[in-house]
Amino acid sequence: MQLQNQTHFYKGKVRDVYTIKNQYLVMVASNRISAFDVILPPPIPYKGQVLNLIANYFLKATSDIVPNWILDVPLPHVSIGKKCTPFQVEMVIRGNLTGHAWRTYKSGLRTLCGEPLPEGLKENDFFPKPIITPTTKAHVGHDEDISKEDILKNKLVSEEDYAQLETYTYALFERGKQMAEKQGLILADTKYEFGKTDNTIYLIDEIHTPDSSRYFYADNFNEQQAKGLPQKQLSKEFVREWLIAHNFMGLEGQTIPEMNEDFIQQISERYIELFEKITGMRFQKETYSESQIESIINQRLQLLP
């Protein structure tokens, strides 16, 4: 696909990103799915629409907290917005002891990214208050944990900007938790990416999607914790579990198992279920040809200054 005034193109694991006039980004959310840092062969119908619409739903709902990069959503799987210079850290915030934080805790460590972890917690317990555990933004390979002190010492972010990023992160997480609670969910952890242009900080990329966040169901959370049972999650964890059951974890020498049509359809339906549960809205399936997509995007690009 070639867009008007296109100056750069980048193909990510799950999104295609077009730079326009070095000022704007056109982000096309594909139906590709990745797990263990590997793109799985079959596309998942409507996945791109689901993630793009969830992200835009939350960007719109948090625009009073922090300005964001979005200018237009011309198609369910396409967003157009400002090109910002990303900060070299991602702001990970955790309300519950789960995932990477739990693995760190279970190993016996009681600090994560310089944040103290209280004694006596069980997996998935709430922290006394949410903690920010930043990571570096790796261009290649995995992101790495980093403390606030090291971010400032290495001048990855200025002290003034980092203070603002912290303020935004706490406020966005609080809003996300409130919105999740209305849907019978607990937003356990998530990450935010920020960028800067014209000396203004913007929220960029996706937020509060099941690919970047972990949700628990609230109705039986306390009962499961009391019994020491796993929490029911709303995320793409079920795909990872299927891969692990088929002896694949992205390790060298492992072969990606083949997904049959029934399982591909199950994944698609699960993503649609995620959309409807998180937003409380009905999902509308829409299909476009590449020529239609290109035409609609180019029409919208003409409206940009």
Q: Is 45 inside a domain boundary? A: no
Could you count the other beta carbons within 10 Å of the beta carbon of residue 137? 14
286, two tokens: 């829409």
The answer as to whether 184 is a domain residue is yes
Q: Is residue 244 assigned to a domain?
A: no
62 contacts 172 by C-beta, under 8 angstroms = yes
Predicted local distance difference test score (pLDDT) of residue 95: 98
| pLDDT of the residue at 241 | 86
Distance from C-alpha of 296 to C-alpha of 24, rounded to nearest angstrom: 16
Q: First-to-last CA distance in the chain?
A: 22
Portion of the chain with pLDDT greater than 70, in percent: 98
What's the CATH code of the domain at 222? 3.30.470.20
**Residue 8 β-bridge partners:** 19
In a domain, 20, yes or no: no
pLDDT of residue 139: 57
pLDDT band at 142 (very low <50, low <70, confident <90, very high): low
112-121, 165-174, 232-241, range with the lowest pLDDT: 232-241
Q: Report the predicted TM-score, pTM, of the whole model to 2 decimal places.
A: 0.91
Q: What tokens does 15 get?
A: 């999104």
* Residue range 169-196: mean pLDDT, rounded: 97
Q: Tell whether the model's pLDDT for residue 10 goes beyond 70.
A: yes
Residue 140's pLDDT is: 53
Token duo for residue 74: 């011309």
Q: Quote the pLDDT of residue 44.
A: 95
C-alpha–C-alpha distance, residues 117 and 120, integer Å:
9
Compute the average pLDDT of residues 172-196: 97
User: If pLDDT is split at 50, 70 and 90, which confidence band does 234 have?
Assistant: confident
Q: Tens of pLDDT along 210-229?
A: 888 999 999 999 999 999 99
Quick one: which H or E segment has residue 278? helix 261-279
Q: What band does 138 get if pLDDT is binned at 50, 70 and 90?
A: low
Confidence of residue 128 (pLDDT cuts 50, 70, 90): very high
Q: Is residue 141 part of a domain?
A: yes
CB neighbour list of residue 236: distance below 8 Å, 6 or more residues apart: 33, 35, 210, 211, 270, 271
- What domain range is 144 assigned to? 89-233
| 152 lies in some domain | yes
Provide the mean pLDDT of the chain.
94
Say how many domains are in the chain: 1
Look at residues 158, 153, 133, 159 and name the one whose alpha carbon lies nearest to residue 144: 133
Q: How much is the average pLDDT of 251-276?
A: 93
Sequence-ordered list of residues with C-beta below 8 angstroms from that of 242, at least 6 positions apart, any chain: 263
Looking at the domain assignment, is residue 75 inside a domain? no
The tens digit of pLDDT for each residue in 44-100 reads 999 999 999 999 999 999 999 999 999 999 999 999 999 999 999 999 999 999 989
CA atoms within 13 A on the CB side of 81: 24
Residue 238 confidence class, pLDDT cut points 50, 70, 90: confident
Nearest to 196 by CA among 171, 165, 219: 165
Q: What pLDDT, on the 0 to 100 scale, is given for residue 236?
A: 81
- Long-range CB pairs of 215-223 (<8 Å, 24+ gap) are 215/180, 215/185, 215/186, 215/187, 215/188, 215/278, 216/96, 216/124, 216/185, 216/186, 216/188, 217/184, 217/185, 217/186, 218/181, 218/184, 218/185, 218/186, 219/184, 221/186
Neighbours of 257 (CB within 10 A): 15
Task: Mean pLDDT check: name the lowest of 121-125, 240-244, 259-263.
Answer: 240-244
The predicted pLDDT at position 235 comes to: 81
- Report which of 205, 214, 218, 206 is spatially closest to residue 238, judged by C-alpha positions: 214
Question: Does residue 80 lie within any of the structural domains?
Answer: no
Residue 15 has a pLDDT of 93
